[in-house]
């Protein structure tokens, strides 16, 4: 009965993990660079915020289907289809939620005292050491925000998931899609229960983020 929630959370957890690994170097680079390509990268990263999910879903579908070079390659070499399965959901979610991981981290890094980072370089620490031991621990609120919002945003996605994953029970049918289907078949009781769970959890998650950030500010003044 709660399988769609399980799929939603599995999807969100994997997406957060992958995006964190991708977004950490990207946001650090964006925060430190003075390069001319920065605005281009920033615009690209922010695109999923403004694009209709259907546009994003369509392009992903076009890029991954067996009619595309990439999709054909995976089909022939590994016999894996990249659409209408869980893998395609993960790929789509990574695009869809990218800005929600990159932007808080980037603004967190940008708010750091440059002199503090320089002090670490002067002390002989490499950029990687500085990122891991000085920069990251000093942007904990931004880090928590990025992770939680990315998670919540992935759980909340609907349009892209529907287009790329369809609604295969136990495989790609996530909670938001399940609610849509319940309403379609006029199972209002089920839709109420699912929606209430989503509403309650989203609120608790956001409450936790804001409470943590307020406490952290009190303690470290960051």
Give the footprint of other proteins on this chain (CB under 8 A).
113, 115-116, 118-126, 133-134, 137-138, 140, 219-222
> Shortest approach of other proteins to residue 125 CB, angstroms?
7
Query: Per residue, what are the HEC states of 99-138?
Result: HHHHHHHHHHHHHCCHHHHHHHHHCCCCHHHHHHHHHHHH
Residue number with CB closer to other proteins (69 or 122): 122
Q: Which residues contact 95 (CB under 8 A, 6 or more apart)?
A: 48, 56, 60, 160
Note every long-range contact of 166-169, with CB atoms under 8 Å and residues 24 or more positions apart, other chains counting: 166/84, 168/84, 168/85, 169/3
Contact 177, 167 (CB under 8 A): yes
Residue number with CB closer to other proteins (10 or 140): 140
Residue number with CB closer to other proteins (67 or 114): 114
Question: For residue 139, how many other CB atoms are within 10 A of its CB?
Answer: 23
Residue number with CB closer to other proteins (137 or 170): 137
Residue number with CB closer to other proteins (98 or 105): 105
Question: For residue 135, how many other CB atoms are within 10 A of its CB?
Answer: 22
d(CA 59, CA 5): 26
> Shortest approach of other proteins to residue 25 CB, angstroms?
19
d(CA 61, CA 58): 5
> Within the chain, how many helices (H) and strands (E) appear?
11, 0
> Shortest approach of other proteins to residue 114 CB, angstroms?
8
> Shortest approach of other proteins to residue 220 CB, angstroms?
6
Token readout for 143 is: 């880090």
> Shortest approach of other proteins to residue 136 CB, angstroms?
9
Residue number with CB closer to other proteins (36 or 219): 219
> Shortest approach of other proteins to residue 148 CB, angstroms?
20
d(CA 56, CA 52): 7
């Amino acid at each position: 009965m709660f399988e769609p929630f399980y799929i939603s959370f599995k999807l969100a957890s994997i997406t957060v993990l992958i995006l964190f690994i991708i977004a950490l170097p990207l946001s650090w680079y964006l925060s430190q660079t003075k390069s001319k390509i920065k605005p281009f990268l920033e615009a690209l990263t922010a695109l999923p915020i403004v694009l209709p999910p259907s546009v994003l879903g369509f392009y992903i579908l076009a890029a991954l289907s067996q009619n595309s070079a990439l999709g054909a390659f995976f089909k022939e070499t590994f016999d894996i289809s990249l659409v209408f399965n869980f893998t395609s959901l993960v790929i789509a979610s990574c695009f869809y939620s990218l800005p929600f991981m990159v932007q808080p981290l980037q603004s967190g890094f940008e708010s750091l005292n440059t002199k503090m980072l320089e002090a670490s370089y002067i002390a002989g620490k490499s950029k990687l050491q500085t990122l891991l031991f000085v920069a990251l621990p000093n942007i904990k609120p931004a880090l928590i925000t990025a992770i939680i919002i990315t998670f919540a945003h992935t759980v909340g996605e609907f349009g892209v998931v529907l287009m790329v994953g369809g609604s295969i029970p136990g495989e790609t049918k996530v909670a938001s899609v399940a609610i849509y289907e319940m309403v379609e078949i006029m199972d209002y009781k089920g839709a109420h229960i699912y929606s209430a769970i989503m509403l309650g959890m989203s609120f608790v998650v956001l409450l936790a983020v804001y409470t943590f950030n307020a406490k952290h500010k009190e303690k470290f003044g960051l």
